[in-house]
């Protein structure tokens, strides 16, 4: 056989044989880990060797492809540490700067990012007490900066006082209770913005969202600031997942609304789990103070400083107010034609009942208006998605109840429409306060029908002035043309 092979390839006995490519052998899936680098495991040859003809033989070596040139990354710019001197705010007569308080540089950095050089009146007065560790009760017109006032106090307290060495995951150091899910989410967002350079952790507990997901967040890291609705917080507390015995600062926001919604029994249960009032700082904020609210405040606070900011007008001067006298049967036509004829892009509509909200939204959608509803019947994940769509301009009309609409802070709402006048005069102020924010102009239009016009006198008493009723133009009362499918 050897001689035959030599003869076939024309080789003499003195010349070495060229290697003969072997037939490919299917891999068995195993590996000889003991073989030396650069060597292959021996392969059993078949009894009758297969010889590859010269014309089919592959060359022994192939030229290696040229290596691709390495792409050099541009060097990252050096990180320049932020200094308080980078936040320059000139003193101005009649205004208080955040520089005038001894705030941590990390907090001042976040305040600069948010573009807030001067304090609002409620912030300027409240911070003078709360930063000194005193309890406080604050009342101010909606949209005046109450949230930032208590958040700055909380963050300062937590930065100045190191956490205890022995600490469990479910032990928050600061607790904020708010009546609605939307308000909780908004407060938590503001807290995240203000704590982004501090290393403090912010968590939210709200009903209507995945319980297990919120629990995993709680188990994953320490909780510094917890923002929660009363019901969901009690759920975690009664299961033993959250312990409130380490709370250093407790905040009750929208206290009057919690009274109206019947949350006070739950709030009492929560407060009993916190340290005694002499061992914690308690801040209570609301847009209005009734006798009941003040009585609760006295039970839960110790010698509180009371700060009340009276606006020249209860309603913002930036909001132009109109009232249309219209029959109940014509209200929807008036709403549709106002929105459609004027091309308004971000409108908020309020109604008193959830079923009204649902019917208005369904009719608008049927008639080709991009609308969504916000009420207690809507699941929380959908509510958050709806608010984001409205904030981003994907939804033109947001129809809401007072409970769902309380605490919504979205810039750029051009018009607020009261489809039905509110039963509580204070709710009128909160509704129209959704527009005309951040110095922008806004318009509110209220429909006064035969079923709700009797609410007008109490609203005007609260406002301290009369609002003249107008008759809507005829073209705004025309029938709505149904869209063909």
pLDDT digits (tens, 9 = 90+) for 442-465: 899 999 999 898 899 999 888 888
Average pLDDT over residues 66-78: 64
* Cα-to-chain-centroid distance, residue 296: 29
Pairing of strands 249-253, 281-286: parallel
- All CATH 3.40.50.300 domain ranges of the chain, comma separated, are 94-308, 319-477
Residues whose CB is less than 8 angstroms from the CB of residue 388 and which lie 6 or more positions away in sequence, other chains included: none
Residue with tokens 């209860």: 314
CA distance 172 to 198: 16
Instruction: pLDDT band for 25, please (50, 70, 90 cuts).
Output: very low
pTM for this one? Answer: 0.63
Q: What is the mean pLDDT of the chain?
A: 82
How many other CB atoms are found less than 10 A from the CB of residue 178? 30
Task: Determine the pLDDT at residue 406.
Answer: 66
Task: Determine the pLDDT at residue 139.
Answer: 85
pLDDT digits (tens, 9 = 90+) for 254-278: 888 888 778 889 999 999 999 999 9
The dotted CATH code for 319-477 is 3.40.50.300
Q: What is the DSSP string of 152-197?
A: HHHHHHHHHSPPPSS--TT--SEEEE-SSHHHHHHHHHHHHHHHTT
Q: What percent of the chain has pLDDT over 90?
A: 45
Q: What is the DSSP string of 235-296?
A: HHHHHTS---TT-SEEEEESHHHHHHTT-HHHHHHHHHHSPPGGGSEEEEEES---HHHHHH
Higher pLDDT residue, 161 or 141? 161
CA distance 232 to 177: 11
The DSSP letter of residue 118 is B
Q: What percent of the chain has pLDDT over 70?
A: 79
CB 430 within 8 A of CB 406: yes
CA distance 34 to 32: 5
- Max mean pLDDT among 40-49, 168-177, 433-442 falls in 168-177
Task: Determine the pLDDT at residue 218.
Answer: 78
Residue 279: C-alpha distances to residues 230, 282, 469 (Å): 22, 10, 54
340: left (phi over 0), alpha (psi -120 to 50) or beta: alpha
Residues whose CB is less than 8 angstroms from the CB of residue 126 and which lie 6 or more positions away in sequence, other chains included: 136, 138, 149, 150, 153, 283, 305, 307
pLDDT digits (tens, 9 = 90+) for 193-246: 999 999 999 999 887 666 777 778 777 889 999 999 998 899 888 888 899 999
Residue 390, classified by CB atoms within 10 Å of its CB into exposed (0-12), middle (13-18) or buried (19+), is buried
> For domain 94-308, which CATH number applies: 3.40.190.10, 3.40.50.300, 3.60.15.10, 3.40.50.620?
3.40.50.300
């Amino acid at each position: 056989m050897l001689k035959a092979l030599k003869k076939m390839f024309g080789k003499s006995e003195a010349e070495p044989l060229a290697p003969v490519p072997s037939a490919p052998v299917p891999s068995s899936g195993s590996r000889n880990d003991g073989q030396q680098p650069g060597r292959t495991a021996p392969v059993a040859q078949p009894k009758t060797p297969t010889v590859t003809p010269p014309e089919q033989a592959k060359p022994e070596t192939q030229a290696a492809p040229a290596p691709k040139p390495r792409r050099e990354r541009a060097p990252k710019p050096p990180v320049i540490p932020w200094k308080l001197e980078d936040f320059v705010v000139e003193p101005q007569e009649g205004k208080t700067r955040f520089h005038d308080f001894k705030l941590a540089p990390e907090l001042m950095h976040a305040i600069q990012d948010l573009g807030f050089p001067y304090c609002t009146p409620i912030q300027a007065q409240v911070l003078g007490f709360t930063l000194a560790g005193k309890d406080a009760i604050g009342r101010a017109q909606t949209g005046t900066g109450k949230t930032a006032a208590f958040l700055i106090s909380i963050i300062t307290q937590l930065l100045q006082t190191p956490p205890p060495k022995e600490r469990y995951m479910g032990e928050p150091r600061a607790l904020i209770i708010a009546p609605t899910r939307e308000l909780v989410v908004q407060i938590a967002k503001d807290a995240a913005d203000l704590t982004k350079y501090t290393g403090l952790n912010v968590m939210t507990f709200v009903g209507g969202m995945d319980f297990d997901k919120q629990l995993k967040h709680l188990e994953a890291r320490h909780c510094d600031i917890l923002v929660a609705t009363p019901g969901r917080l009690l759920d975690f507390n009664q299961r033993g997942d959250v312990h409130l015995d380490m709370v250093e600062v407790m905040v009750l926001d929208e206290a009057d609304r919690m009274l109206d919604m019947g949350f006070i029994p739950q709030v009492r249960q929560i407060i009993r789990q916190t340290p005694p009032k002499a061992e914690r700082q308690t801040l209570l904020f609301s847009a209005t103070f009734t006798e009941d609210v003040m009585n609760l405040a006295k039970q839960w606070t110790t010698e509180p400083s009371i700060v009340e900011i009276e606006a020249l007008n209860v309603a913002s001067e930036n909001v132009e107010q109109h009232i249309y006298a219209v029959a109940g049967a014509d209200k929807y036509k008036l709403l549709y034609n106002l929105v459609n004829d004027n091309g308004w892009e971000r409108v908020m509509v309020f109604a008193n009942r959830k079923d009204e909200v649902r019917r208005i939204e369904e009719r608008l959608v049927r008639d080709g208006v991009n609308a969504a509803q916000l009420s207690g019947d809507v699941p929380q994940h959908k509510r958050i998605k709806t608010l984001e769509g409205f904030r981003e301009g994907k939804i033109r009309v947001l129809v809401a109840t007072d409970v769902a609409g309380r605490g919504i802070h979205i810039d750029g709402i051009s018009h607020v429409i009261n489809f039905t006048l509110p039963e509580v005069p204070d709710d009128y102020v909160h509704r129209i306060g959704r527009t005309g924010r951040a110095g922008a102009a806004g318009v509110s239009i209220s429909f006064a029908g035969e079923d709700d016009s009797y609410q007008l006198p109490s609203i005007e008493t609260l406002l301290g002035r009369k609002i003249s009723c107008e008759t809507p133009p005829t073209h705004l009362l025309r029938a709505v043309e149904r869209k063909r499918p």
